[in-house]
Each structure stands twice: as C-alpha cells, then as structure tokens.
Chain A
C-alpha cells in the first residue's frame, strides 16, 4: 500500500516539460460521433490500434495506439497507463495526450513516467513497468497514448485483445510481414473476419465491441474476451511459429537439457527419503512431499529464466526455487528411484488455455506428471491415462497444502501440456469427484432450560476443503486462530463462546484436518408465545451466492467439488414436545445435490444433511437452476422446529 500511494503521488508530481499539443490523428478522433452508452459507462475506446511489423530476422516491432473518451468519473483510471517490458523487450516512443472537455491539450512523454518493478510474487525479475498519468482524465476528456515495443520473442505469434472493460468503438490490427512470409489467424469469442490486404500488409478491423463487465464468479476474462491470434510463418517454416503443441513442447524440452542431472547430494537425499518405504508409490509421495514442503518458493526470473528452470543442483542446494524449479528437483530425485516424470505446463486460470490454439501464452505455471507403477493405488484422484506413457499422477509441488494424489482446485477442469521426449500432448485435467474434498461436521449439544445450547463440535476436513482452512490457519498466530473460528461462527450464531479449541494435523497436508471445540450459545432457542423455536441447522453455510441474472453475460464458477455432511444432535429439555418440524429438503441439479432431514427421536432433535458439488463450470443457462437450488438450501438453513 505504501508503494501504491507513493506511486500515485509521484505520478501526480511527475515533471512535465513537454508542452506539445495532441497529434492530428487524435484531433480527428475527437470528432467521432458516439452512440449513447449507459450512464455508468466509464469510458469508450475511440480507437484501439496495433500495428505489428515482423522483420526477416524474426524481430517484432509493435506500435500500440489507444484513445479513450472518458464518460464518467469512474473512467478517471483511464488516465493511468502502464506499459510492461523486460530485458528482451525494448520500449520506445511512449507518450500520451489529452484533449480536455474545454479543448485544452496536454502531452506527456516517457521521461515523465514512473518506473517500477511489478510486485507479482517474484523476489527478483527483470520485468518492469513504466506508468504515465495522463492529465485531465475527467468526464468529457479524450485521453490517448502510444508506444512501440521491439522484441525477439520465443514464438512467432501475436495476440490482439480488442475486447476490454470499456466498450470499443473501433479496433484495428495491422500485420506487416516480410516478403514471402505467411500467416494464419484464429478468432476467439468473436466472429471471424477477413483482413484488408495491401501487399504484405493485412488489416483487420472491428467496430462497436461491447465491454466486459466484471461479474461475480465469472470465468477469467482472458477465457471469454474476444481476441485474434496470429502466427507468422517464414518461407520453409520455422518451429517458432508453434503450429502444434508438439512444437512448443519440443522447444521447452530443449530448455530442460541437463537441468535434472542429479548430484551425489541429491542422490543421497533421494535414498534417505525413500528408505524404508514399502512401495514405489510411497517413495513417490515422500519425494513429492520434500519438493512441496522443504523447497521454499522463491522466484528469481531473468530473461529466459521465466521459462527455463534452474539446475536441480542449485535448487537442491538453496532449498528454494519457483514452480519449474520444484518440478526439476523432484524429477531429478524421482529419476534416482527409477521413476519417470514429465513437466506439465498449465495456466492457473481455468479456461485460458484453448486446446485448439498452441501458444506459449497459454501457460503461467509448471507442474509434474509422474509415471505410476502398476501397484499404485487405484483410487487416486489426480491421475490421467496417457495412451503411450500409461497412468500418470499429476502433482503441483508449488501448492504446499494439496498432498500427493490430489490436484488443487485451480488445476481441475483445466488443461495442461505434457512435455516428453517425443514432443507433447494437451491433456484434460478433469474435476475430482466430490469425495476428494470432504467436510464432516458433528455437533452433540444439549438445550438448557434457559434456551442456550452447549456441547461438542468436531469438524473433519480432507482435500481442498482441508487445504483452504489449513492455509488460512497456518498464517495466523495462536490467538488469531481462535478468532478465525469465532469469526466463522458469527455467520450462524449471534451469541456464543468456544472453549477447548484444538487442531489435529494442522501441519500435515497428507492427513485430515480436525478442528474440535466446545460451543456454548446462550439464548439459542427463541420463545414465541407458548412456543419454543429451534433452528436445527445450528452451524455452517452451504449456498455460495444467489447470482444476479439481470444483465449477466457469462457463466458461473463454483468453489468446486465437495462432499459435506452435517450431523447435529440437540438434546431437548425434558417435557418439551415437538409441534412442527421443518420438512425434509431435497435438491438435485447437474451441479449439486442437497438433502436434509430433521427428526425428533427420544428427546433429541436430529438434523442430518448432505451437500455434494460435482463441478466448477456452470453455463449461463444453468445459473437460474443453481439459484433455485441455493435458495432452497438457504430456506432449509433458516428453517425452525416448533416445540411446545
């Protein structure tokens, strides 16, 4: 926050010696007649233009030019422009202009920019940003900027993203190729268009592109935004065009040469960790746990280091590295016990990887696939069957909460490029079964004559459910852990006290996380006339949210597969008689199912429910049914038993 505040103040104070006016192209744009937009529209892109020029040597020069009209005060942010670059990308001609509503013109140049290193989790990276603040970004003003980048990319590709958070009046992409070069183009989430051709220059233009508005639970915007991807092909072809996933996998495999070589120290550690393990799978699990728990996540990425891992020796010696480094040291150790393994490249945002369009831009993360021995357990969730390599265990050693055998939620219903000696294959990673992530909650309570309940609560979590809770608890101090549990209860209870709070297996992701506590909730039962009202549910919330369908454009993503079972027993005071019990609830949709039942047996009010979620992605047309299901669950959670 301190840096963010400083950045803003420096941008406000940035000296501005350039007093030139707006260029003619911008003055011309300023006369553009606009349709009417909703009052809350931040602004409109009058022009979003990219001109990409490829040299015969494969160097790519790209001119970016964009002009916005600010339509409302929420569009003031359009006056901030951040351009990113690294050691292999040269940034030139970065400048910006404004034509204020009163006609005043402004210009700012690259030397007015604030330069910073983006804070994105890396300890060190050569990635940097220059940020310009354009004056007078107020409603009615036109703000514009342009810059050029010259790079020698690892792939002969370009991606034109023309759908943004504001509507676009006109967007244009021009590709200039050297003589004899060809291209192929693919459109995503938009109708394909043909370019206008002039010699070796190809121009695509689209008009009136709707804005992408943030919707709760929507897929990542990169998965739904309209884009054009273009590949360039020199005469005779070039593997850098990445025509297939094989091309990318082969290129990546080339970066791995020698990286996994084991040193005597690595060999010794692999032997030490696997000593006494009865099966190969147990050995795999032990080595996986080492890479996950004992190699600290530290990212140092310079140049090709964004893709190429450090050597296994470096990672092992330092006991730190990034995702691909963790895979490297694990692969090296697995090799020592005779187990083959493979890098897998993935994107942590579901839906960003399009299996039909090979591109390096599909990936931001590396995980590992391990060839399983024949005697490996059959009930592992995180496995795929490869036609040639056989049964593979997929594992993410960077995630320190999800044990070997499971995939973290962000990798389920996702895709990964499996890199092997013969090339690569795009692999579908299915959602796990609900049983992979369990929450079992039991409460044995007694209702006192004063209306208060008290007793024991036990919550047992596995898989992703355990990982989420464990991850939150591990970052907290002991006193804060109690507050965390107390804060969660506040969604269900108003007045309560917990004592004897205890955690089991908090530091061991391979085991169930158990939370035990004694609960006392005074005045839980409510008196109304001669009735005693008791909510059988007591604890826990299942429905995620009621999705607002008014103007909704995209599908919804659930929190993922889970199986949750609540068993709550409340012993009622002697002499109390049930007058009415809530009806049983039963909800079943392709996404989730829910059942609940309240019974009064002996003198005990028994509440049982089961909540099962099967998948992540819910299409837009399925949300209404999901809302109905969530509403039914909410109604059940509110329902009360009436006693007299």
Chain B
C-alpha cells in the first residue's frame, strides 16, 4: 500500500485554507455593514446558528505564504461556540503569525481580542508534533460578529496538491479563494468537483480566483454517498508539462502495466505449480476454481490486524518482487495475490489481465481528477470459454466469480503490456447476489413466539459477515451474529446462536441457526389475538422518515431479503382472518407477500428487493412512499380467535 511520509500525513490535518484579503495581502479587518450588524437570519439557511459572512483564503506557493480571514455572524445561542478558535500548525513545517481577532457587537461596538492564546498539544509522536493555537473570544452573544485572521508560512517547497472543501457545517455567504502557484518549469492546474463552470476558479494573470456566494451548510442524511463525495471541492495540482487528462491516464496505464507485468512475468515455477494444481481438472471452469482456491489459501497480509513496527520487523516478512516470491513465501497483499492468480491463469492457458479498479466506498471515480490514488484495487479478468469474467481471490472469503461490491459499477482500467490500457465499466450485480434468506418455525406459547430461525446469507451478504469476522474469534463472532438477530425482534426477545456457522470458508452461502423467543409482538384484542407475522421486520423503522431529501439515496449494492415465517397454530385458536397477499413494485425495488393457512400452520412468505444503487432526489418521494407502504404491509396481522368448542 502507498503511504505518505508521516510529516505529510500530519500536514493533511491542517485546514487547507490560506487567509488574508481578497486578491492582495490585506491586514485590515472589515467594517461590518448595517445589514450585517442587524442580521438575525439568512434566507439561504433558515435556522442556522451562525453564518460565515466571509471566508477569504489566500495561498501563495511562490512565497510559501498563506493567510485566512474569517467573519462569522452569530445568530443564536448555539452559535456562540464559534467564539472558540483553534488553529492547527506543525512546528518546524508551518508557522502561524499575525493572529488577530475581534468581536463586533450588534451596536457596532468593537472588542479587540487582547487575551491569552494557548499553545495546545494535539499530538506528538517521535520527532513530530501537531499543535493548536487556541483562544476564546470574549462576550460572544447572538448578534455578535466574530472576526479573525492569521498568516501561515512554511520553509520548504513542496509540490503537494492543495484541496479546498467548499462546504462546511456552517453556511457561507461569501467564499473567496486566491491561489498563486509556483512559477517556473512546473505547470499548475486545478480540478473541481460539484461546481458549475461559472463557479470554477478563473486564472487571472499569475493566480487563480474562485468566488462563491450563499453556500448552504452541509447536512448528513442516511443512505447517502460519503461526505467526501458530496461536498464540492477544488484541488490545485502541479505537473510537468501541459495537463492532459487522456495523456495522464494513458501514461498511468502504461506505467502500471509495465510494473505489474514485470511482477507477473513468465516464470517456470508458476507454470509448474499451476500444472500440478490443474492436473485432473475436468473443465476450464474446474481449472480456474482450483487456481482460485490455491491463491485464497495463501496468507493475506492486507486483511490482518495492524502490527507494530517491532512485530513487523521481528516477523521478517520480505517484500515480493514477483509472483513466484509470493507463492514461495506463502503470503502477499491483496493485489499481489490477484497478480499471482493472473500468472496462474496464464500458465494454465487462459488469457488473463489485471484490471485496476476504483473503489466506490469513499468517493466515486472522477477521471478529470488527475490523481492515481483514486484507483487502488486490482482484480483479475480471465477469458474462459470465450467470455471475460472477473475474479478477486485477493479478498478473503470472496466466492469464485464474485467481486466485492466496492469494485462493481465503477470504472476499471484493463492493463495490457506497452499500451495505455482499456477503460471499461466494472459489472453491475443483481439483488440475487446479495441475499438474506430467513426462515422462522414458530409456535405460540402464551404471549411468546418460540422456535427456530435459520438464516442463509448469500453472496455479498455472506462475504460481508465473513470479512467482519475475519480477525475475530468464535466468542466475538457469536456475539456479533446474536446481536444482529436480536435487533430484528422486539425488546425482551431472546436469541441464541444454536451452532457456529462456517465463517472461514469462501462458500457462496453462510448459514446460521438460532433458537428464539419473540416477546412483545402479539396483541390481545378482547377474544382475538393479533399476530403480525413479519417477525423479522417488527422493529424496523422507515429509513426514509424525513419528507425532504437533499442528497441522492445510495445503497451499497442491490440486495434481496427473502423471509418465510411458519406459525404452528395453538390448540383452541382458529384463524379468523389472514391478511391479503400484497405486491408492491417500484421498479428498482419491490415487495411481495403471500399468506397461506394449511395443515394447522399459517405461513407468510415475504420478499423484498432493491435492485439499484443510486436513486436521484427527484425519485425520493416515491421511494419514501414505497418504504412507508412496506411498513404498513409488515404491520398486517393474522387474526386468531378462540375456536368453537
């Protein structure tokens, strides 16, 4: 894995904002306008505790200088906390100077900050430390304007990219960013995300300027893409020569192909072992399955608990220079194992390559962002019986032929020696590749439903649980599995895992059996007993209870839940009414239920699927309504009544 030097990791903690005045160094504070003094709210952010009136950042790489000037209007008592200022710096690498602050009261009275600034240790390790200049502004009240500015310098020249995240926890009335890049042989350019063309930085003479107005505060919502993906940002980069997106990725593809092909090579040792593994295989598929299983048997260093440097040194693990090293050492990192699989496949006569894939768990790949770190995964593509199939034996417990969800529905770069490679879209997966099948056999014992539950997780659902269990022991895994099942049932229910499922394998399914006592579910209504048989959904809230939605809805992968609940009817009670079978179809999501009363038992079959990943805001009302209707269907109860004597 690529690692930044520690000092640069520490530098990443710093807010990449440079502060000062717009367009030119300005050490003056700004006179508030009458409108700012009397402001009690802002139209674009009703109810906000405070609003940033100005965020003025100046960043001058040519002179290793940055400054920032911030003005915050406090609107409510909650907003008073913004009177506490914390400015981070890394001694020896960055220095803060000329820190000035003041408070302006609603009547225009100016209270300069003359108090003490504290140097607070944030963290110190070895020779490095991160500090904060910390101070609190006096007499901050609703209506106050907090204003501060400072300068930051750094003694070293670095061609690190600078990124400004343009949405914060407070709304910003005006954002102004001024960036002057290094001059000389190196070329600078910027890339933005979440900005319109008009909003993007403009090159003016020797610097860039960006100005935004009325940026709303960032709000988190459940089932959203990551914050990193949603917040608009702009990054400034340096490169040699003229920035060219196609050329950048073309050269990247060639570089990667060269390095990876050197690692894979064409080694007789690999061929020999591949032949041994595939000896007696009855089909091409059989051959690949054997090779896949062999690779998964190797120690996978990417999925182990972090070790201290002492442990790592003591273990004397060697970096592998090629796949034969991986094989003979018996261990490797995820990508190395996938390269070994490609080598095996080629040795066994298959056409095979590495595909470099971006993972969509943190940010979605954006080709225009010239950052190789967007692509960290490698998977194998193998042509088998004329069809290209993807494999990732470098992920433990991943069944043959399945990709982990992060590597689906995302761009990949198929590497071919001495070529730029070929861009492709990694395949989608359907809901059947991520199933949860639950069967409950229950009997009513007084007010409690008692019986057995069998859960079968399929595909992604099985992999997810096995990966979560990967570095834990049976006791911890038993608790995890029991806690998950307990959460399905009402408070007061008991759940015991009857037998430990096989968490070590790469089977497509994972089966767990529980004994359960489901309490606080049925309802007595006079002579009747009402039993909502959708027992697995009895505690489920509508995940989309909010009427309004700001971000798209993001499910990690399509999935299917297939429940069957069988209730053995108790003596003396007869079915008075069964709920109607239902079928809700939203297109990308659906629910179907069927009820059956036969042989002294009532059976509910319930299937719910989501067959999409990203749902735009304009479809949110329909999605919310669908989940509400699902909730209503799940509440429908079987009505039992004392049987006639």
Contacts and interface: CB of A to CB of B under 8 A. Distances in A.
Interface of A: 2-3, 6-16, 19, 38-40, 72-74, 76, 104, 106, 108, 114-117, 123-124, 128, 133, 135-136, 138-139, 293-294, 296, 298, 300, 317-320, 400, 474-483, 486-487, 489-491, 494-498, 507, 522-523, 526, 528-529, 531, 533, 543, 545-546, 548, 550, 579-583, 627, 630-631, 634-635, 638-642
Interface of B: 6, 9-10, 13, 45-49, 76-78, 80-81, 83-84, 115, 118, 120-126, 129, 134, 136, 138-141, 217, 219, 305-311, 314, 447, 471-476, 478-479, 490-492, 494, 519-528, 530, 541-542, 545-548, 576-577, 579, 625, 628-632, 634-637, 639
Which of B125, B519, B635 has most chain A Cβ within 10 Å? Answer: B125
Given A526-B636, A529-B577, A631-B520, A546 B491 contact: yes
A19 B49 CA distance: 54
Nearest to B474: A39
A507 B76 contact: yes
B519 A631 contact: yes
B91 to A, nearest CB: 14
B219 A480 contact: yes
A476 to B, nearest CB: 8
B305 to A, nearest CB: 7
Contacts of A114: 123-125
Contacts of A124: 118, 120, 134
Contacts of A641: 525
A522 B479 CA distance: 39
Contact of A39 (B475, B523, B635): B475
B123 A627 contact: no
Given A39-B474, A106-B310, A116 B136 contact: no
A208 B11 CA distance: 48
A495 B628 contact: yes
A123 B77 CA distance: 18
Contacts of B548: 479, 482-483
A573 to B, nearest CB: 19
Nearest to A544: B491
A474 B78 contact: yes
B471 A634 contact: no
B47 A479 contact: yes
B276 to A, nearest CB: 31
List 5 A-B pairs, minimum CB-CB distance, nearest first. A494-B631, A478-B47, A580-B526, A495-B628, A546-B492
B136 A318 contact: yes
Contacts of A115: 121, 123-125, 129
Contacts of A533: 525, 530, 637, 639
A531 B639 contact: yes
Interface of A is mostly: mixed
A300 B118 contact: yes
Contacts of A294: 141
A475 B78 contact: yes
A529 B639 contact: yes
Contact of B545 (A7, A483, A581): A483
Contacts of B309: 12-16
B539 to A, nearest CB: 9
Contacts, number: 241
Contacts of A6: 9-10, 13, 123
A117 B10 CA distance: 16
B542 A490 contact: yes
A317 B136 CA distance: 12
A145 B66 CA distance: 44
Contacts of A72: 473, 475-476
Nearest to B6: A13
Contacts of A583: 526
B124 A116 contact: yes
Given A317-B139, A491-B541, A582-B526, 17 more contacts: A6-B9, A73-B471, A73-B475, A74-B473, A106-B314, A135-B307, A136-B308, A296-B80, A298-B136, A318-B115, A318-B138, A320-B138, A477-B45, A477-B219, A522-B628, A526-B636, A545-B491
Which of A477, A523, A546 has most chain B Cβ within 10 Å? Answer: A477
Contacts of B542: 490, 494-495
A477 B49 CA distance: 7
Contacts of A635: 447, 520, 523-524
B111 to A, nearest CB: 10
B491 A634 contact: yes
Nearest to A317: B138
A138 B9 CA distance: 28
A193 to B, nearest CB: 33
Contacts of B125: 10-11, 13-14, 114-115
Contacts of A479: 46-47, 219, 548
Given A494-B628, A494-B635, A507-B76, A139 B473 contact: yes
Contacts of A480: 219
Contact of B526 (A15, A74, A481, A642): A642
Nearest to A136: B311
B9 A478 contact: no
A16 B308 contact: yes
Nearest to B121: A117
B491 A497 contact: no
Contacts of A491: 541
A297 to B, nearest CB: 9
A491 B122 CA distance: 41
Nearest to B523: A638
Contact of B305 (A14, A76, A489, A640): A76
A135 B525 contact: no
Contact of A319 (B84, B141, B471, B637): B141
Given A13-B6, A40-B479, A73 B472 contact: yes
10 contacts: A7-B123, A73-B476, A133-B308, A320-B136, A474-B77, A478-B47, A483-B546, A497-B547, A522-B628, A635-B520
Nearest to A528: B577
B323 to A, nearest CB: 28
A400 B48 contact: no
A123 B134 contact: yes
B524 A318 contact: no
A123 B219 CA distance: 26
Nearest to A546: B492
B84 A298 contact: yes
A631 B471 contact: no
Contacts of B629: 495, 523
A123 B314 CA distance: 42
A296 to B, nearest CB: 5
A479 B6 CA distance: 41
Contacts of B123: 3, 6-7, 10, 114-116
Contacts of A2: 13
Which of A7, A489, A550, A640 has most chain B Cβ within 10 Å? Answer: A640
A507 B77 contact: yes
A265 to B, nearest CB: 11
A42 to B, nearest CB: 9
B81 A296 contact: yes
Contacts of A15: 126, 309
A123 B220 CA distance: 26
Given A9-B9, A135-B308, A74 B46 contact: no
A95 to B, nearest CB: 13
Given A16-B308, A523-B632, A123 B46 contact: no
Contacts of A74: 472-473, 475-476
A206 to B, nearest CB: 27
A490 B524 contact: no
A436 to B, nearest CB: 23
Which of B314, B490, B519, B545 has most chain A Cβ within 10 Å? Answer: B545
Nearest to B309: A16
A338 B126 CA distance: 57
B121 to A, nearest CB: 5
B486 to A, nearest CB: 10
Nearest to B539: A491
Given A13-B6, A15-B126, A481 B47 contact: yes
